[in-house]
Structure 1
Amino acid sequence: MRRELSLPFETRGHRGLISVRVVPNDDPWASGHQLVVPDLDAEAFRGFPICTAGLRYHGQGIEAIMGWIQVITRGDDVTIDLVPNLSPVDPFYTYGYLPTFFDAPANPDHPDGTWRASTFLVVVPDVIRSHVVEPLAAFSWGYNLHAGRPDLLDVTPLPARDWSGHQPLLQATHPTWTFA
């Protein structure tokens, strides 16, 4: 099973590298799930994936401001994954200086099926003046659920054409943004 991946990217005249790691959650208490699920049944959450993607980048300062956009597919349902306490107007899962991507989905109560994330490192070319987003690199990860128990999927690089496949949904969900 492939649980780690390195993806090169280039933006603003500098090279970078994404280091992705997906591991099963062996200790839902240690990963902080009780902060979002106060009556946590740790055993039900055990084994779901924890995904972390860090960046190394040769640019500095404002040049290193980037973001992550994540698209979730479950069966025929495709959604943009947004953090609940951030602005729903913006398409970003996270945005900032060398942003680390982190997600630890755990849905033991969902019906059997595949939960797959397409996770894109993106930039706004002029950082804050426009609402234009360009993809830099992407990867896929997730799990298959059977009777409440997850089986992790391999983490794999995504080709550039995957971004264009999500553009209609991104544009419909975030009409004030342009997805180049």
Structure 2
Amino acid sequence: MILPFTHDGETGSVTVTLEQVDDPLTIGKHPASQGFPCCTSTVSYPGRGYRAMFGWVQFVRSTDNTTGGAGFDMDPFILFEDAPSPYAFFGHNPTLFDAPSRAERRSLAWLAHSFLAHTPLDREQRCVLPLTGFSWGFDIDAAGDITVRPAAALTAADWDEHLPYLGNSHPAWEFDKWQAETLSPEPRT
């Protein structure tokens, strides 16, 4: 799936690739991760320097999370899960890479909301402004079989539903609504 977005008057895109992992060692995972999904989302944007500094904010709702699947939790990169930033990844045209797995294959529903955003450097308060987003995930049935959920474009309403949680989780940051000027055109598959 390719999701276009607009930032600073220029159009960029996010290319989302989902696959089931055939050889976990090639992506740095344990052999027991075979069959679980792998998501790679790359950013292409013509702006240079700080104009192309973006971050990925990812939420996960799973039947084994803190709410038992009733709500979303932040999904930080494991090395930085105690960092006071809402971003799982941040950098110059950053790639989101995620390969979730579980040690035991019990019934599970797992859904991620992944948003590409930017933080303006000219504001006093650190602020997160969304540009585009998509959902993806997987399910494990009672027999232990894994089904990957296809990627689907998210909307401004999806981002806005996360705003109360973001404000409570990261009080040192501001989170703007998804503005009409940053709404993405239709995704391509």
The answer for the alignment partner of 2:57 in structure 1 is 69
The answer for the alignment partner of 2:23 in structure 1 is 27
The answer for the alignment partner of 1:85 in structure 2 is 79
Matched, 1:177 2:173: yes
Listed as ranges, the gaps of 5+ residues in structure 1 are 34-39
Listed as ranges, the gaps of 5+ residues in structure 2 are 63-68, 177-189
**1:48, 1:128 → 2: CA distance?**
41
The 5 A counterparts of 1:1-180 are 5-33=1-29, 40=30, 42=31, 44-74=32-62, 75-86=69-80, 87-109=82-104, 111-126=106-121, 130-147=125-142, 148-180=144-176
1:52 counterpart letter in structure 2: T
The Cα offsets for residues 87-126 of structure 1, whole Å up to 9 and x where unpaired, read as: 5210001011110110000114264121000000000022
2:121 counterpart letter in structure 1: D
Aligned alpha-carbon RMSD (Å): 1.6
Identical columns (%): 35
The Cα offsets for residues 125-175 of structure 1, whole Å up to 9 and x where unpaired, read as: 227853100100000001011243321001111111100001111111111
Q: TM-score, structure 1 length as denominator? A: 0.87
2:72 counterpart letter in structure 1: V
CA displacement at 1:84 relative to structure 2: 2.7
Aligned pairs, how many? 168
**2:172, 2:27 → 1: CA distance?**
35
CA displacement at 1:16 relative to structure 2: 0.2
1:133 counterpart letter in structure 2: V
SS of match in other structure, 2:163:
helix
- Alpha-carbon distance change, 29 to 168 in structure 1, aligned in 2, over 3 angstroms: same
CA displacement at 1:76 relative to structure 2: 1.5
1:140 counterpart letter in structure 2: S
The answer for the alignment partner of 1:37 in structure 2 is none
17-26 or 75-84: bigger deviation: 75-84
The answer for the alignment partner of 1:36 in structure 2 is none
CA contact (8 A) 1:108 1:149 kept: no
Q: TM-score, structure 2 length as denominator? A: 0.83
CA contact (8 A) 2:41 2:97 kept: yes
CA contact (8 A) 1:141 1:154 kept: yes
CA contact (8 A) 1:124 1:130 kept: no
**1:23, 1:121 → 2: CA distance?**
20
